[in-house]
Structure 1
Amino acid sequence: MDKSNKLHWMHISDLHRGQDRTEEVWSVVRQELYDDVKRQIDSRGPIDLVVFSGDMAFKGEADEFSSVKVELERLWEVFEQSGSKPNIFCVPGNHDLVRPGKTSALRNFSSILRTTEEIRNEILSGKPSSYRDEAEQAFANYSKFIKDLAGSAIPFSLDCQGLFPGDTSAQLSVNGLRVGLVGLNSAWTHLYGGDALGKLDISVRQLNSVVGGDLPKWSLSNHVNLLITHHPAEWFTQLAREEFEGEIFNPAYFDAHLFGHMHDNRPKLISEGAHDRRTIQVSSLFGLEKVDNKEERRHGYYFAILDANVDFCEFWPRKFEKKVGGVWQTSRDGGLLKRDENFFSQTWVVRNVKDVELKKV
């Protein structure tokens, strides 16, 4: 199977390892996941990359991350048995931190940082700051988990660490394609329970800290660039969203924004002038969800193959369904597909890289 100029990836999010009342069901769902991974590889070839867009743990506790590492090692055994050894790229979510106490200065200022510019500038300056110290402490278990994962047998993508824990970048060479990955911590102001929709902050300084302060130069050295956060843009304040969409998720330099935190798979391609803005939302992989104050399970993930030979990307959206008799099974996410099809396609043209000729087959 010729994989020239192709990127085959799997996007997962929101495992919520350690959440109460999930352990008894997870083993069955996990086996369904393993079997589906094997089928995907058997039919479409090795997977090159796994993007994990946060909420690996439930309360950000050390033992939860130890369990996540074990789960990932088991999954990579399945990959290797099927002839794959993909790289993993991670960002943290709001369940991957230990929430500061009610007297925390950062927690109390987190929802009003855009009106307290002196404090915000101090946090984002990169200089010593008690506020940023609190953020680093909140994500300390996540940071240790990442260090442990990087030292494991799982191929781990991380070239540069930035302003906050979870601000990272990496550049990969995959089947002739140069792939750029940027992960930004969108949870550093999500330090409390309750509804945070429209209340979170994010800064272009986080992006600049992982691309050498020059996004165009960094981006144009790659055929494909993916921006990964845990939250969608709708969860940022109005000013933060304007900064995100205007200065961070620039469609001239990023091909897609990948994120989790939500209940459904939902890829979108929106044309804005001469540019396409592509967002790819992945469903929660596992855990009890609350929708309209009712608990329900809506879980899934997707596979994708970007083929630069034909300028298309194919998506296989997957979901866990409870069948007749209460049996959990993996199946196609029919809400995104036509009739009995198992995948759908989007036009996706990769950029040219100076002095690197992409030999299409």
Structure 2
Amino acid sequence: MLILHLSDIHFRKQEVGTVQDPNFHLRHELVLDVVEQCDRLGPPDAIVISGDIAFAGDPDEFAFATNWLRDLCTACGCPTSAVFVVPGNHDVVRSSADHNLVQMVHDSIKRSGNPAAEIAKQLRDPEACNLLYRSLDNYNQFAGQFFCNLLPPERTRAKRDLKMNDGSTLRLWGLNTSFVSSSRDARGSLFVDTASMQIPRESGVINLVIAHHHLSWLAQAQARELEDHLNHVACLQMFGHVHTNRVDMNRDYVRLTASAANPDRHEQGWEPGYNLVELSIQTGATGRTLDVKAHVRVWQTGPDGFYAKRDRMGVDHFAHTLTLGNWHPPAAASVSHAQPPSTIESEAIPVEEGDAMDTLRELGLRFYRLSFSKKSEIAGRLELLEEDDMRLPDHERFRLIIIRAHERGQLDALRDAIYSAEQG
């Protein structure tokens, strides 16, 4: 399995799509390098973005990101449905997060002697819950096309399952470290909710946790608790935000921190980059192991280009082997080692077959690109909306339309309606 890990792309509304965009050349070269590496390693099975897709959480920034990601996926030979995203602080609309009422909720969490309990209390209050998440509305509209949108209090993390080469599961967990983010952010001032501490270990499942903020940006006590939890349950961890690439290899886990794809050119240590991570399970006389190869690609100038960061021995990747628990696939679920990995599940969607889940994501991507009026017309005509849906944000209503079409056997009708709307 190959995972492309990007972070901190920072699409700026006033720059992207203009001839004055200072990062056009950098992004163009990144795509060329990804294509070259994928020609050698194979197409990605997942494109993981650990936050800061936008720069100011603006809808136009997310629209540009959607088109750029579609072009990237086409170039490196994977479907756009392979994209998996989590929110970062730049995906937050600061004017919303800085509002007095929102800051009152933030302060009640930051000043609490028990932040986890206070967060849970605020999430149980519908008005406070809405205040905590409304600055991520634009992000959620964008993330909805990948079935990664969040709806508190029950869905405050994104989840997706991928099939590994031995038939076991790689489970992606996308955490939200940005719901208390605002212009007042400082190291040690951010939080996760209790759901982030409830990631289970399961036989035949490898947990990969993705979050935007490095642990050092969380409140100290919670950072320690989350780190201990992740080190116990997730042998693979990916972070962004700090704009510095790091590969930490421990007996029990591999932790990757990504360079920014588009760091601020004036920041100290400017070094754009991205990661490609190869995963493969081996089964032998001594048991099951997970082989990890992290290809860290960093930008240099004069000559321009992305090059491999090397380990101390001069090797162009960082290799590590993790010991896994014994697991044997059920007889009916046995797969060939030659079979490519595939997407098989997404949280809160009652689909187990890989092809069915892929179908939902492909339809979701097409549905997302339609205008609001066309989406509403299709939902009404196919009777896929219910009265209670009117209380939900747009991104969640449109997500439910896709899910209900699957549950009610209306996917073909929905597909025909989407295609017809695209032509019209």
Q: TM-score, normalised by structure 1?
A: 0.79
Partner residue, 1:338 = 313
1:162 positional shift: 5.4
Structure with greater proportional helix content: 2
Aligned length: 323
Determine if the alignment matches structure 1 residue 107 to structure 2 residue 82.
no
Structure 1, 305-314 or 89-98: larger mean CA deviation: 305-314
Counterpart position of 1:179: 170
1:285 aligns with 2:261: yes
Please name the residue that 1:48 is paired with.
Answer: 45
Does the aligned pair in 1 maintain the 2:6–2:47 contact within 8 Å? yes
Residue range with higher mean Cα deviation, 109-118 or 62-71: 109-118
User: Which residue, 213, 226, 232 being the options, matches 2:208?
Assistant: 226
Aligned to 2:351: none
Q: Displacement, 1:110?
A: 2.3
Instruction: Give the aligned partner of residue 420 of structure 2.
Output: none
Superposed displacement of residue 56, structure 1:
0.2
Would you say the 8 A contact 1:318–1:333 is kept in 2?
A: yes
- Shift in Å at residue 337 of structure 1? 5.2
Secondary structure in 2 aligned to 1:74?
A: helix
RMSD (Å) for aligned C-alpha atoms: 3.0
Counterpart position of 1:128: 125
Structure 1 residues 128, 85: CA separation in 2 closer, same or farther (over 3 Å shift)?
closer
Does the residue aligned with 1:95 lie in a helix, a strand or coil?
helix
Query: Which structure is higher in RCO with an 8 Å CA cutoff and minimum separation 6?
Result: 1
Q: After alignment, is 255-264 or 25-34 more displaced?
A: 25-34
Letter matched to residue 342 of structure 1: D
Aligned residue in 2 for 1:323: 302
CA 1:160–1:323 in structure 2 vs 1: closer, same or farther (change >3 Å)?
Answer: same
Contact between 2:112 and 2:118, CA under 8 Å: does it hold in 1?
A: no
Within 5 A, what are the aligned runs for 1:227-266? 227-246=209-228, 248-249=229-230, 251-266=231-246
1:266 Cα deviation (Å)? 0.3
Distance, in Å, in 2 between the alignment partners of 1:353 and 1:114 is 43
- In structure 2, the gaps of 5 or more residues are 283-288, 339-424
Change (3 A) 1:120 1:280: closer
Identity %: 24
Is this contact kept in 2: 1:223–1:351, CA < 8 A? no
Matches within 5 A, 1:88-107: 88-99=83-94, 100=96, 102-107=98-103
Q: 1:70 to 1:21 in 2, by over 3 A?
A: closer
SS in structure 1 at match of 2:84: strand
Q: Distance in 2 between matches of 1:181 and 1:103?
A: 33
- Give the drift of 1:164: 7.7
Secondary structure at the aligned position of 1:196 is classed as: coil
Q: CA deviation at 1:267?
A: 1.1
Structure 1 residue runs without a partner (length 5+):
1-6, 151-155, 209-214
CA pair 132-32 structure 1, distance change in 2 beyond 3 A: same
- Distance in 2, matches of 1:119 and 1:241, equals 12
1:1-361 paired onto structure 2 within 5 Å: 7-18=1-12, 24-80=21-77, 87-99=82-94, 100=96, 102-110=98-106, 113-116=109-112, 121=117, 123-125=119-121, 126-147=123-144, 149-150=145-146, 158=148, 163=153, 167-175=157-165, 176-193=167-184, 196-208=186-198, 215-216=199-200, 219-246=201-228, 248-249=229-230, 251-271=231-251, 276-288=252-264, 291=267, 297-309=270-282, 311-324=290-303, 328-334=304-310, 336=311, 338-339=313-314, 341-353=315-327, 355-356=329-330
The C-alpha deviation readout for 1:299-337, integer Å capped at 9, x for no partner, is: 10111111212642111110111115xxx3111124x45
Name whichever of 178-187 and 162-171 sits farther off. Answer: 162-171
Instruction: Provide closer, same or farther for how the CA distance between residues 360 and 21 of structure 1 changes in structure 2, counting only shifts above 3 A.
Output: closer
What whole-Å deviation, never above 9, does each CA across 1:157-186 have from its counterpart, x for those lacking one? x59865387621111224434110111100
Contact 1:143/1:165, CA 8 A, preserved across alignment: no
Structure with bigger strand share is: 1
Contact 1:316 1:342 in 2 (8 A): yes
* 173-182 vs 91-100, greater mean Cα deviation: 173-182
**Separation (CA, whole Å) in 2 of partners of 1:74 and 1:229:** 24
Q: Match of 1:330, as an amino acid?
A: F
Distance 1:19 1:261, change over 3 A: farther
Q: Tell me: CA distance 1:321–1:163, structure 2 relative to 1, closer, same or farther (3 Å).
A: farther
Distance apart, 1:85 and its partner CA: 6.7
Contact 2:116 2:194 in 1 (8 A): no
Question: What amino acid is aligned across from residue 344 of structure 1 in structure 2?
Answer: F
